[in-house]
Chain A
Amino acid sequence: MKFTLRQRQIISAYLFLSVSLLFFIVIRWYPTLLAFNISFRDWNVFESSGPWVGMDNFAEIWKDAFKPRSAVRAAFTNTILYVAYGVPLQLILGLGVALLLAQIRRFSAFFRVAYFAPYVTSAVAIAFVWNWLYQPQTGLINQVLSALNLPDQPFTSSPKQALQSVTAVAVWQNVGFAIIIFLAGIQQIPETYYEAARIDGANGWQIFWGITLPLLNPVIVYLTVLSTISYLRLFALVQNMSPQGTGGPLKSTTTVVLEVYREGFSSYHMGYAGALTVILFFVILAITVVQLKFLTRRFDY
């Protein structure tokens, strides 16, 4: 059999693609599908098999959500709060810093690296450093507060501040990603638009609202979707910043993913954990679809 050069190119392309496809099927998709299966079973991980229980796990989650001091309810409310605080903060900060970075020439590479470094740092390492910064009495932040004669703050050791304290770290870690993407978006906007606007006498504020922001819409949508998903899946920071990794104090920082982990690997209720995963999957899916639908607008000039 003879192939033309073009055909041979295509075949080798598929050959290489199939390797990564295989990886995705085995490492990503298959376990995902299994999680659906597990969510319909009463399976303790030490047992070889769990009986099919239909929607029982989902019913139990529903029931647990209404119990007093429910961990599941706390997990879902907190997860929503993480998104509500984290996503806008990350986008606004990211855009602000990106606009400033777009203005400077000197040291711009240095600033980009500095802002991006936390994003590629392990969440566990970040959590440890921030745990020390947040330490009551001896932590750097409280030392500074004391020096300024301000009262000490408990941060992660108080249920009133813990969630916000963790969100702050998550934003600090992820803002670098938003900055880089915004920068790329800003540089895509043709200089001619700005020139035309200035000739027409538009001020900086009008230029920002009339040109920069609308033309950044695809970037904003992209970042909103991605950062929402990342806040919905918050885990490592919470696990390493709450006492004994339990999402405390008093469940004030726990997230859905953390409860999945605790149910599955501390209490061995794999079916229950699987059902929580499935719920989270649909929540993420629904939110993403809604965001794509309502945030996407085309602006042409």
Chain B
Amino acid sequence: MQHKRFLTLLSALMVLAMLLAACPAPAAPAPASSGEAAAPAAEATEAPAAEEAAAPVEAASDDVVTIEYWQYNFEARVTAMDQLIEMFEAENPNIKVIHNADIPYAEFRDKIAASVPAGVGPDVATLFYGWQSAWIDAGYLVPLPEDAFPPATIEAEFSPMVSASFVDGTLYTLPTAVRTLALFYNKDLMEAAGLDPESPPTTLDELAEQAVKCTVRDANGDLEIEGFVTDLGAQDHHWFREVLVRQFGGVPYSDDGRTVMYNDDAGLQAWNYLLAFKTELETGDNTLFTDSTNAFVSGQVCFHVDGSFRLGTLAANAPDMNFGVAELPTHNGIQSTFGSYWTHGITKKAAADQARFDASVKFLQFITSAQAGAIWVDIVGELPAQLEAGNNPELAADPKLGAFARGLAYAHATFFADESAQRQAMIDAYDMVVLADEDPAVALDIAAETDQEILDEFFSE
């Protein structure tokens, strides 16, 4: 009897579901139709001043416009942004900026995504440049107005890697700061291995050679100290695409970013170089000590490729570590590094209201100024995106930040259609070789094929 009733209830539910599903467009609060309807309603409750200002735009100059800015929670970033907002509000008394930085990094994308159908969320948001494509594709980010951000000026004044923010010639986002990769080395471990801690590897061959010398195994053959760990889940997928492939004479992608090119001969040589640390030289294993970054932070790794942002992690978690940072090793005389950045965009929520849009543009101009970049580098330790601030000789001479700053001149940023999926393709290729005995060339071809599918899907839309 119980089951009969249970089944009846279920079938009733199903019928209801089908009916609802068959409706041409769901009623009011359904996510599928909420955007336009819900956003103005939310604005009305949140920022009545802005609503009023919207109607007679020119006449409303005395009213205070409130805009909302979101970034993920990272203490130094929050402190720096609080300071910038304070300065901005002092200069623009009729604009108030609400700073939301309560969301942990891991949930940031989810929360933003969830805020959109709810009609709330930021007017100006900070996002990883690799996410741009998906957000632009969805119409969430609006183009930056050319009069406020002239493309020619941007190209002249900003680090060349910022060109990744132009999609088909239109600028969508702009960063305050950028990061590059460099080689971290543990001086104590080098010394213990009989290496000179003041002359870290400058070429790929030296890196391989010194990594082997630095590796220590115990009596059972277990790794105690890892010379170098290949870890595609960390920064090595960037190192492969934008640095190694170029150094072995290839290019990772075609100039328009639409075609994968790294699975040619040069790419395969680069791939084999990267794999050798695991398969031939056996200087490390990315599953030990959780992952390569953790292993380096806990003093178990000699050489590690990582970004400027890791300086903060090390300062917080390993304040006593005796380490240095050098520019990435060269090969065939070619210098390269991967550049990336967290960038700021204006959302369609801001664009729905002229007064708020104008305020957002002003705010974006302010936080991407050279002045803001200089404040940012002091507090956060990221390099200013504006060349004027980045070329500061004091910065280039800094024992830790210097190697990253010098990299700005030759950094490449990859154009990503879906950063996490494209990274996963590289991780899977590594796992195929290491865990499933796949031929390296075949694994690289599969990665390229997967990557190409992701790009094709993005560009076909």
Binding site for B on A (CB under 8 A): 29, 32-34, 36-41, 43-50, 52, 69, 131, 135-138, 146, 154, 157-159, 243-244, 246, 248-251, 265-268, 285, 289, 292-293, 296
CB-defined contacts of A41 to chain B, threshold 8 Å: 32
Q: 25 interchain pairs (CB within 8 A)?
A: A33-B17, A37-B23, A37-B26, A40-B21, A43-B31, A44-B137, A46-B139, A49-B32, A49-B35, A50-B32, A69-B428, A69-B446, A135-B287, A135-B290, A137-B222, A138-B289, A243-B291, A244-B427, A250-B435, A250-B436, A265-B113, A266-B109, A267-B418, A268-B134, A292-B3
In the assembled complex, the Cα of A138 lies from the Cα of B291 at a distance in Å of 13
CB of A244 within 8 A of CB of B233, answer yes
CB of B18 within 8 A of CB of A36, answer yes
User: What are the 8 A-B residue pairs with the smallest beta carbon separation, nearest first?
Assistant: A48-B35, A46-B138, A46-B140, A157-B287, A36-B17, A44-B138, A36-B21, A45-B113
CB of B428 within 8 A of CB of A48, answer no
Q: Does B10 contact A (CB under 8 A)?
A: yes
CB of B21 within 8 A of CB of A136, answer no
CB of A137 within 8 A of CB of B288, answer yes
CB of A137 within 8 A of CB of B223, answer yes
Find the A residue at minimum CB distance from B19: A33
In the assembled complex, the Cα of A273 lies from the Cα of B36 at a distance in Å of 23
Binding site for A on B (CB under 8 A): 3, 7, 10, 13, 16-18, 20-21, 23-26, 30-36, 109-110, 113-114, 116-117, 134-135, 137-140, 220, 222-223, 233, 285, 287-291, 418, 420-421, 424, 427-428, 431-432, 435-436, 446, 450
CB-defined contacts of A135 to chain B, threshold 8 Å: 287-290
Question: Do A46 and B116 form a contact, CB below 8 Å, given A37-B26, A265-B109?
Answer: yes
Contact of A266 among B13, B140, B233, B420 (CB under 8 A): B420
CB-defined contacts of B35 to chain A, threshold 8 Å: 47-49
Find the A residue at minimum CB distance from B347: A46
CB of B428 within 8 A of CB of A250, answer yes
CB-defined contacts of B109 to chain A, threshold 8 Å: 265-266
In the assembled complex, the Cα of A159 lies from the Cα of B291 at a distance in Å of 17
CB of A43 within 8 A of CB of B32, answer yes
CB of B24 within 8 A of CB of A52, answer yes
A170 to chain B, nearest CB (A): 21
Find the A residue at minimum CB distance from B140: A46
CB-defined contacts of B289 to chain A, threshold 8 Å: 135, 138
CB-defined contacts of B138 to chain A, threshold 8 Å: 44-47, 268
In the assembled complex, the Cα of A69 lies from the Cα of B18 at a distance in Å of 33
CB of B436 within 8 A of CB of A37, answer no
In the assembled complex, the Cα of A119 lies from the Cα of B134 at a distance in Å of 39
Count contacts between A and B, CB distance < 8 Å. 121
CB of B113 within 8 A of CB of A37, answer no
Find the A residue at minimum CB distance from B113: A45
CB-defined contacts of B432 to chain A, threshold 8 Å: 250
The B interface is mostly helix, strand or loop, or mixed, namely helix
Question: Do A289 and B7 form a contact, CB below 8 Å, given A47-B35, A136-B285?
Answer: yes
B297 to chain A, nearest CB (A): 15
CB-defined contacts of A248 to chain B, threshold 8 Å: 427-428, 431
CB-defined contacts of B10 to chain A, threshold 8 Å: 285
CB of A146 within 8 A of CB of B287, answer no
In the assembled complex, the Cα of A154 lies from the Cα of B434 at a distance in Å of 12
CB of B116 within 8 A of CB of A45, answer yes
In the assembled complex, the Cα of A32 lies from the Cα of B21 at a distance in Å of 11
A103 to chain B, nearest CB (A): 33
CB of A49 within 8 A of CB of B25, answer yes
In the assembled complex, the Cα of A41 lies from the Cα of B428 at a distance in Å of 30
In the assembled complex, the Cα of A29 lies from the Cα of B13 at a distance in Å of 9
Find the B residue at minimum CB distance from A44: B138
CB-defined contacts of B431 to chain A, threshold 8 Å: 159, 248-250
Question: Do A46 and B113 form a contact, CB below 8 Å, given A244-B427, A250-B431?
Answer: yes
In the assembled complex, the Cα of A76 lies from the Cα of B32 at a distance in Å of 28
Find the A residue at minimum CB distance from B421: A267
B90 to chain A, nearest CB (A): 33
CB of B135 within 8 A of CB of A46, answer yes
CB of B233 within 8 A of CB of A243, answer yes
B81 to chain A, nearest CB (A): 23
In the assembled complex, the Cα of A34 lies from the Cα of B424 at a distance in Å of 30
B1 to chain A, nearest CB (A): 12
Known: A135-B287, A244-B424. 10 other contacts (CB 8 A): A40-B21, A44-B134, A46-B140, A48-B33, A49-B25, A157-B435, A248-B431, A268-B138, A285-B10, A292-B3
A279 to chain B, nearest CB (A): 14
